[in-house]
């Protein structure tokens, strides 16, 4: 099996870790994701990972309950670190060498994000998890994922979701929703499709960084994407 990509950035939502729970982290989901990553790790693919924090804390919802937006975003950043540590442990349980780097300094827990060091870890076949978003409020983990992907010179962003790609409307609400096999960044923006936020899409477009959106919950889908199979939607 020959991978189509040498270096990728995998973006996972925090909500994906909940499984059937209403919040928190489902250990079985962690094990599943670790197994999926292990499949492509064995092929020699260099892997960076950004994971959200929505299963623990969402800054948007906090703002609605009287918590200042900046404070809420800082709390959300810390939630991404919790998720990153959990996934890191699940990966290491499968014998995968990892490093966790954070945009906010917390040396007792993780390395600070240093671009050259991150690239060196990837070259040494270590999976690098990037926590704490961009380190700044008002930026989503989608934007953080794109920023890190550009910095580490990833060839593609692979975004795992609950559905099989990008649709013209919400497929979970509209059974007649139509899926795109391929779509341009301009079309995503013009149609206001919820692939990533506008800042992230603009960064991808300006840096010619493609996105593959796929259903991460189906076994071996990540491997199929890496092998170049037509899984999900390609945005480029």
Distance CA 203, CA 207 (A): 6
pLDDT of residue 15 exceeding 70, the answer is yes
- Looking at residues 117-140, what average pLDDT do you find? 97
CB atoms within 10 A of CB 162: 12
Q: Which phi and psi angles does 200 have, rounded to 5°? A: -65, -45
In this structure, are strands 7-12 and 46-51 parallel, antiparallel, or unpaired?
parallel
Helix (H, G, I), strand (E, B) or coil at 40: helix
Task: Note the pLDDT of residue 109.
Answer: 96
Across-strand partners of 47?
A: 8
Distance CA 142, CA 60 (A): 15
Task: Note the pLDDT of residue 61.
Answer: 65
User: What is the Cα gyration radius of the chain?
Assistant: 17
Cα 12-18-23 angle, rounded to 5 deg: 120
- Looking at residues 29-49, what average pLDDT do you find? 98
- Looking at residues 20-25, what average pLDDT do you find? 89
Task: Note the pLDDT of residue 170.
Answer: 84
The band of 59, judged by pLDDT with boundaries at 50, 70 and 90, is low
- In the chain the domains, ranked by start, together with CATH numbers, are 7-181+194-235 (3.40.1160.10)
Task: Note the pLDDT of residue 223.
Answer: 97
Q: How does pLDDT run across 154-202, given as a tens digit for each residue?
A: 999 999 998 999 998 888 888 888 999 999 999 999 998 989 999 999 9
Task: Provide, rounded to the nearest whole percent, the portion of the chain with pLDDT above 70.
Answer: 97
User: Of the given ranges (63-67, 96-100, 109-113, 127-131), which has the lowest mean pLDDT?
Assistant: 63-67
Q: How does pLDDT run across 73-91, given as a tens digit for each residue?
A: 999 999 999 999 999 999 9
Task: Provide, rounded to the nearest whole percent, the portion of the chain with pLDDT above 90.
Answer: 84
CB atoms within 10 A of CB 29: 20
Q: How does pLDDT run across 207-232, given as a tens digit for each residue?
A: 999 999 999 999 999 999 999 999 99
Helix (H) or strand (E) holding 129: strand 127-131
How high is the mean pLDDT of the chain? 94
């Amino acid at each position: 099996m020959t991978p189509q990509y040498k270096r990728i950035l995998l973006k996972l939502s925090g909500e994906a870790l909940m499984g059937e729970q209403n919040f928190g982290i489902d250990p079985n989901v962690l094990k599943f994701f670790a197994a999926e990553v292990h499949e492509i790790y064995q092929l020699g693919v260099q892997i960076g990972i950004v994971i959200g924090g929505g299963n623990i804390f969402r800054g948007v919802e906090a703002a609605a309950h009287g918590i200042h937006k900046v404070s809420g975003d800082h709390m959300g950043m810390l939630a991404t670190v919790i998720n990153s540590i959990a996934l890191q442990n699940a990966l290491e349980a499968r014998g995968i060498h990892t490093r966790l780097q954070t945009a906010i300094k917390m040396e007792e827990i993780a390395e600070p994000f240093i671009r050259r060091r991150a690239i060196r870890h990837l070259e040494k076949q270590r999976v690098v998890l990037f926590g704490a978003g961009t380190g700044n409020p008002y930026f989503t983990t989608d934007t953080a994922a794109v920023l890190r992907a550009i910095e580490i010179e990833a060839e593609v962003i692979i975004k795992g979701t609950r559905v099989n790609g990008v649709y013209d409307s919400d497929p979970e609400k509209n059974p007649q929703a139509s899926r795109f096999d391929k779509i341009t960044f301009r079309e995503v923006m013009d149609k206001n499709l919820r692939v990533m936020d506008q800042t992230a899409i603009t960064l991808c477009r300006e840096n010619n960084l493609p996105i593959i959106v796929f259903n991460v919950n189906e076994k071996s889908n990540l491997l199929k994407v890496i092998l170049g199979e037509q899984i999900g939607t390609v945005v480029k």
